[in-house]
Amino acid sequence: MTGFNKLVLIDCWNEFSAVSPSLTKRLRRLARNVLFYRTIEQDPQKVIRHLQGADAVFLGWTSLTREILMASSSLRYVGVVATGFNMVDIRAAKEEGITVTNVPSYSTNTVAEFLFGQLITFLRRSIAAEKSLRPSEHSLPGRFWEKMMFMGSELEGRTLGIIGLGQIGQRVAEIAKVFKMKIVYWNRHRKKNWEKKGVRYLPFKKLLKEGDVISLHVALNDETRGLIGAKEFSLMKKNAILINFARGAIVEKKALLSVLQRRRIAGAIIDVYEKEPPDPKDPLLKAPNSFLSPHIAWLTWESNERMFTIAVENAEAFLRGRPKNVVS
């Protein structure tokens, strides 16, 4: 197996360095020269400079636009260290003869577990309750042990609407059954085997009307960009909670801000953003009834090792002339 001449890692070394030493050794054996840049790079010219002379790159969130790919004449392999690959201009990669691979299915259980952790925390106001016991918080008269401030809600009997019944959506449905939720779904293609398990199919608009919790599990593409906007929010119940652990651009941010500020829906649980990292002054970060996290739904020790194991295996398979998990 002949290795790459120069392999560049952008924005994924921090996570990679946390995995096992043996896997890091396998990574370093992929190329004669391995360089890494720790942060997400948003300046295209800097990305071009990083990729100068490189024939392979691993990345998580940094965008590879047509401009960047056209300027990186030596590049022949892109390993996206994630399931979503919307950060790469796939059409341009095809035109340039660049193979792009992704890492499917590494975080299915991790994301689903985190989703319910966040949902229950939001419904039970657990963070605010915990903070209320801290000295800095209960210094005001009448604030200490005021339990009724934290009246919450339970999951049993609520309708969970899953938009996109792929592997993560299916795992979410399995867990929701344990909580005795009513489960409905919309997917481009119906999943009759899941309907036999009691997961009810609904047309898209009807699902928006019926869902108490609406969870997004679709890939970002031309069809799903802005899938949830003002019209879609207007169909939702006033007590609906939107969960987006998929991609930020699937939801129109202005419309989301509007419904949160007007309290048109009960809340939004968000782990992904149209721009990552978001601007610290982004109004979404101060929106009422929002529960935010910094794109960590996938981030556990177990999923991290699975992700980088598959990423290295993808590159090894490419070097052997038998590429797998190809998305280009």
How far apart are alpha carbons 157 and 4 in whole angstroms? 55
How far apart are alpha carbons 137 and 159 in whole angstroms? 35
3-state secondary structure of 211: coil
26 is catalytic: no
DSSP β-bridge partners for residue 228: 251
How far apart are alpha carbons 115 and 270 in whole angstroms? 10
DSSP line for 133-172: TSTTTTTSTT-TT-GGGG-----TTPEEEEE--SHHHHHH
SS3 per-residue string spanning 167-183: HHHHHHHHHHHHCCCEE
**Neighbouring residues of 42: CB distance < 8 A, sequence distance ≥ 6:** 62, 63
Q: Which of 50, 158, 171, 247 is catalytic?
A: 247
DSSP line for 95-132: HTT-EEE---SSSHHHHHHHHHHHHHHHHHTHHHHHHH
The structure tokens listed for 179 are: 């909580």
How far apart are alpha carbons 52 and 83 in whole angstroms? 26
252 is catalytic: no
- For residue 201, count CB atoms less than 10 angstroms from its CB and return exposed for 0-12, middle for 13-18, buried for 19 or more: middle
Q: Which of 50, 158, 171, 295 is catalytic?
A: 295
* Helix residue ranges per DSSP H, the chain: 13-16, 21-28, 44-50, 66-71, 90-95, 108-124, 126-132, 167-178, 192-195, 204-210, 230-235, 253-261, 301-319
Backbone region of residue 302 per phi and psi (left: phi > 0; alpha: psi in -120 to 50; beta: other values): alpha
Q: Which of 276, 305, 313, 316 is catalytic?
A: 276
322 is catalytic: no
Q: Tell me the catalytic residues.
A: 247, 276, 295
